[in-house]
């Protein structure tokens, strides 16, 4: 019935909840169908799926054949965020669909939060804050914390964000900055390890800034945690699944490592009860890139990708293969 009107504006299916993002002019240029309850009966998709030419998605939304089958004319998937670990890249490529993400605009913001979370975790700042709020300061001083200075730090995922973290850490008196990966990067002054296990034995701070997805799932297991040692600190701003959940909980509980700072979880927004019960873990609700300025820049880049695509200029920031 409204085909005539829709023909003027490309139809965009919005799979990601963008309420947290400053939501701008996208509605002027596109016909936006807001529908992100993929598990609910999708009469709407059966009715309108064939009209959809673009999609707005988040890394947290699984996009695979189940939904793509209902969208035969989909051309472009614009992801909010740099990570796209729940996007079935093979299914997308097979159908000739272009996927975009929002790299670069969030790099420095995530790096700031990573270093902040590291210091908060080592110096036990949230615990100290709770000490005040619970009225305990007058009764007993807050116990002394460990230090960051003098530690060897290892970064897993020395990409844009990992490098921005390393750059910041050069301003702290850590004893060494290391990274691991199959290949040594020629242009960085940090110590290279081929293998995470080898690196874990050498460091006491492990920072995770690598992509999620099947290739990195469970990379940090009980063995890696044990190698970090009882002084070990782990900070994860990547994806929850990069760490084996039960191994981490056991390591924190048994003192196999000292503490963890986590901005990401295995099944967000669920936070394991076992972690909530522990005092040596600092928990953040996936806010790495969540400043007003950076979120505005992310939505801007997402929109610009859609505009560019439908104006025939190609995607601005397609995801890497």
Q: Does 162 help bind ligand DGY (rule: CB under 6 A)?
A: no
Name the active-site residue from 53, 151, 286, 295: 286
Residue closer to ligand DGY by CB (options 48, 109) is 109
The least CB distance from residue 288 to ligand DGY, in Å, is 6
Is residue 236 within a helix (H) or strand (E), and if so which, with residue range?
A: strand 233-236
Q: Does 59 help bind ligand DGY (rule: CB under 6 A)?
A: yes
Residues 199 and 174: beta-carbon distance below 8 Å:
no
Size of the site for ligand DGY (CB under 6 A): 6
Q: Which stretch binds ligand DGY (CB under 6 A): 37-45, 81-89, 122-130, 201-209?
A: 81-89
Residues 226 and 217: beta-carbon distance below 8 Å:
no
241: CB partners within 8 A, 6+ apart: 85, 212, 216, 217, 218, 266
> Half-sphere exposure (CA, 13 Å, Cβ side) for 152?
16
Q: What is the CA radius of gyration of the chain?
A: 22
Query: How many degrees, rounded to 5, is the angle at CA 272 between CA 271 and CA 274?
Result: 135
Residue closer to ligand DGY by CB (options 54, 83) is 83
Nearest-angstrom CA–CA distance, 181 and 197: 11
Q: Does 211 help bind ligand DGY (rule: CB under 6 A)?
A: no
Quick check: is 268 catalytic? yes
Q: Which stretch binds ligand DGY (CB under 6 A): 75-83, 134-142, 226-234, 304-312?
A: 75-83
Site string for ligand DGY, 279-318 (x = CB under 6 A): ----------x-----------------------------
Residue closer to ligand DGY by CB (options 78, 251) is 78
Nearest-angstrom CA–CA distance, 184 and 190: 10
Name the active-site residue from 53, 124, 151, 239: 239
Residue closer to ligand DGY by CB (options 204, 289) is 289
Q: Does 209 help bind ligand DGY (rule: CB under 6 A)?
A: no
Q: Which long-range contacts (CB under 8 A, 24 or more apart) does 194-197 make?
A: 196/156, 196/220, 196/224, 197/223, 197/224, 197/227
Single out the residue of 10, 49, 54, 81 in contact with ligand DGY (rule: CB under 6 A).
81
Residues near ligand DGY (CB under 6 A) are: 59, 81-83, 106, 289
Residues with a catalytic annotation lie at 239, 268, 286
């Amino acid at each position: 019935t409204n085909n005539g009107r829709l023909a003027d504006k490309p139809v965009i299916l919005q799979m990601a909840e963008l309420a947290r993002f400053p939501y701008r002019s996208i509605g002027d240029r596109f016909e936006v169908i807001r529908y992100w309850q993929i598990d609910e009966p999708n009469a709407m998709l059966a009715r309108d799926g064939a009209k959809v030419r673009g999609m707005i998605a988040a890394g947290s939304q699984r996009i695979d054949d189940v939904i793509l089958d209902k969208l035969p004319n989909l051309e472009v998937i614009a992801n909010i965020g740099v990570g796209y670990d729940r996007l079935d890249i093979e299914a997308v490529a097979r159908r000739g669909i272009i996927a975009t993400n929002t790299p670069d605009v969030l790099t420095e913001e995530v790096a700031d939060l990573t270093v902040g979370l590291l210091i908060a975790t080592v110096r036990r700042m949230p615990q100290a804050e709770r000490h005040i709020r619970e009225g305990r300061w007058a009764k007993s001083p807050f116990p002394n914390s460990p230090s960051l200075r003098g530690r060897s730090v290892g970064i897993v995922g020395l990409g844009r964000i990992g490098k921005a973290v390393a750059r910041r850490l050069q301003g702290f008196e850590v004893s060494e900055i290391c990274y691991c990966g199959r290949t040594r990067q020629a242009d960085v002054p940090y110590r290279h390890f081929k293998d995470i296990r080898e690196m874990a034995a050498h460091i006491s701070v492990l920072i995770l800034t690598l992509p999620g997805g099947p290739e990195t799932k469970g990379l940090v297991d009980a063995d890696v945690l044990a190698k970090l040692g009882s002084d070990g600190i782990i900070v994860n701003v990547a994806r929850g699944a990069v760490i084996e959940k039960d191994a981490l909980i056991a390591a924190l509980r048994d003192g196999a490592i000292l503490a963890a700072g986590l901005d990401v979880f295995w099944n967000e927004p669920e936070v394991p009860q076992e972690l909530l019960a522990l005092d040596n873990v600092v928990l953040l609700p996936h806010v790495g890139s969540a400043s007003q300025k950076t979120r505005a820049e992310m939505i801007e880049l997402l929109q610009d990708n859609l505009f560019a695509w439908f104006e025939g200029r190609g995607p601005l920031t397609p995801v890497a293969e």
